[in-house]
Amino acid sequence: MTDAPPNEVEQSEVPRGDFSGFKKYLKYDLVSGLLVFLIALPLCLGISLACGYPPIAGIFTAIIGAILATFISNSELTIKGPAAGLIVIAIGCIEDFGGNGMTEGWDAADMTAYKAALAVGVAAAIMQIVIGFLRAGILVEFFPLAAVHGMLAAIGVIIIIKQFPVALGVTGKGEPLEMLREFPHYIAEANPAIAAIGIVSILIMFVWPMISSKLGPLKVIPSPMAVLIVAIPMGLTFDLMHEHTYVFQGHEHKLDESFLVKMPDRIFGMFDDITTPDFSALSQAKAWPWVFMFFIIGSLESLLSAKAIDLLDPWKRKTDMDKDIIAVGVGNLCSALVGGLPMISEIVRSKANIDNGARTRFADFWHGIFLLICVALIPTYLHMIPLAALAAMLVFTGYRLAHPSEFLHVYRIGTEQLLIFVTTLIAVLATDLLIGIAVGIVLKMIIHMINGVSLKSLFRPYIDVEEIDENTSLIIARESAVFSNWIPLRRQIVQLGMGQRRNVVIDVSGVKLVDHSVMEKLDEMKQDFEQEGLSFEIRGLDTLKPLSKDHHAARKQVKK
């Protein structure tokens, strides 16, 4: 549901998530929290299963994130909870410690791997809290955009590959590229009843957004909930609650509760599923690469999401990124201590929160309360949800991450951006997330040096500062303005501008290259200055040659 635009009084007041805001904007935040809950419930369950955790783990994460982050972070519109972007890391960690992610039932090996993964989550959470207190949230600015988008697209492809067999009712294991080669086998061995649920659910995920606006009151129903409304009756029709077999085209197939979500069998039974970490796992060397992956990728995704939501905020409120990463870290710490998944500021649910008319961070709080009530009081009904339906939702999520338009968008920015994007994607599929994004970063640096950037200026900006008048400073950039030296350059801009309350002019006519990442960040900086009542002017771009027609294309100096 899209609420009406805020009126002039509300615009001037700017909603704040304090005690007065809790009362004043209750009707908006409560409604948005309810609608976001309808999206979050099936996704939390599906993401948990895809990660190799018990389904209740995702619910723990969303509840803890919603309640804790509301009172720690100043991010007004982000929704905290488990995210599809961390599935690849979580299932990789589970499998490295000997689990199979419930693909063959839940056994002692799965529990051992689960507890080890919780310990990894605790260690990563502590690192997040530390960097927040060290005010190191700015590090998110380092990563080049093409490499980050390539990594996210690769995650989307992996999710599709991993969840496709589940949607067909067959078991699929192995590395992504190995599983991709097995797709014809998965289709041939599909369980027809389960595949019917999976295929219908996938179709709903794709078609519902296109037709829901024409369905009157039904338009408020989000796609994941529409899937459950259809998939649960299909599961009951196929009698998945009871073990039996059936014959289809001469082949016998088995149906039973293993194709349904495993949930507590009584009211408040969720508290019986609280699980504590096995910290002895951290004594194993193989644990620490996963700690760093959870820490780096989780922090990066969370900060990027919070930043994106700030740009969509109707009141243009700014999140304190250091405070937000502390909130995420504290949430992750508490979540891992009771058996939950890692959490981030999640972009899809946060965008839905805005579209549903949320005003303050209490919408996140209410979505967590609704999750708590639902899972505590009606767990037996949640047990009726077919796994194939949840897999279908994740297939759609993966498709959105790796949408063909992403490739086209990157290509329009520049062919060199597409090369970095595709190389990062392939590297992630062939190796892992850290190596993949590192490959993308190194490739971008090589391209920069080919375009004339010296090695010494890759990490250090060469700038001179002059005063134009008593209210305006001029920053003259030399050598290069690229992603890898942006952080110190940004620090200088912010110090002169927001710190000293001065207008800033930056002259880039003397640089050899301004890359795509910096072009986007300079535009964002201009918006930040405007919100502070200051001006930020970029000079000299017309003297540089753009590498494509896109406004944010990299620009290089042309030799005369």
Q: Do 414 and 503 lie in a common domain?
A: no
Q: What is the mean pLDDT of residues 276-294?
A: 97
In a domain, 5, yes or no: no
Give CA angle at 163 (161, 165), nearest 5°.
Answer: 85
Distance CA 299, CA 301 (A): 6
Q: Do 392 and 526 lie in a common domain?
A: no
Of 484, 487, 474, 480, give the one whose Cα is nearest residue 512: 480
Q: Do 181 and 326 lie in a common domain?
A: yes
In a domain, 17, yes or no: no
pLDDT digits (tens, 9 = 90+) for 287-319: 999 999 999 999 999 988 998 899 889 998 989
pLDDT digits (tens, 9 = 90+) for 372-426: 999 999 999 999 999 999 999 999 999 999 999 999 999 999 999 999 999 999 9
Q: Do 163 and 311 lie in a common domain?
A: yes
* Domain that residue 469 falls in: 455-556
pLDDT digits (tens, 9 = 90+) for 101-117: 666 678 889 999 999 99
Question: Any idea what the CATH number is for the domain that residue 486 is in?
Answer: 3.30.750.24
Confidence grade of residue 58 (pLDDT, cut at 50, 70, 90) = very high
Q: Do 317 and 466 lie in a common domain?
A: no
Q: What is the pLDDT of residue 560?
A: 61
Q: Do 256 and 109 lie in a common domain?
A: yes
In a domain, 10, yes or no: no
Q: What is the pLDDT of residue 103?
A: 62
In a domain, 228, yes or no: yes
In a domain, 282, yes or no: yes
pLDDT digits (tens, 9 = 90+) for 211-250: 988 888 888 899 999 999 999 999 999 999 999 999 998 9
Q: Do 140 and 232 lie in a common domain?
A: yes
Evaluate if residue 2 carries a pLDDT over 50.
no
In a domain, 86, yes or no: yes
Confidence grade of residue 527 (pLDDT, cut at 50, 70, 90) = confident
Q: Which residue shows structure tokens 């700017």? A: 14
Q: What is the pLDDT of residue 45?
A: 95
Q: Do 459 and 446 lie in a common domain?
A: no
Q: Do 469 and 380 lie in a common domain?
A: no
The DSSP string of 65-85 is HHHHHHHH---SS-EEE--GG
Q: Do 412 and 345 lie in a common domain?
A: no
Q: Do 319 and 435 lie in a common domain?
A: no
In a domain, 421, yes or no: yes
Confidence grade of residue 139 (pLDDT, cut at 50, 70, 90) = confident
Among the ranges given (361-365, 425-429, 528-532), the one the predictor scored with the smallest mean pLDDT? 528-532
Name the amino acid, one letter, at 258: S
In a domain, 2, yes or no: no
Evaluate if residue 6 carries a pLDDT over 60.
no
Q: What is the pLDDT of residue 558?
A: 83
Confidence grade of residue 5 (pLDDT, cut at 50, 70, 90) = very low
Q: What is the pLDDT of residue 218?
A: 85
Evaluate if residue 53 carries a pLDDT over 90.
yes
Torsion of CA 150, 227, 86, 129, to 10 degrees: 120
First-to-final CA distance of the chain: 56
Give CA angle at 265 (263, 267), nearest 5°.
Answer: 105
User: How many independent structural domains does the chain possess?
Assistant: 3
Q: Do 299 and 256 lie in a common domain?
A: yes
Q: What is the pLDDT of residue 125?
A: 98
The stretches of 378-414 forming alpha helices (DSSP H) are: 379-382, 387-401, 404-413
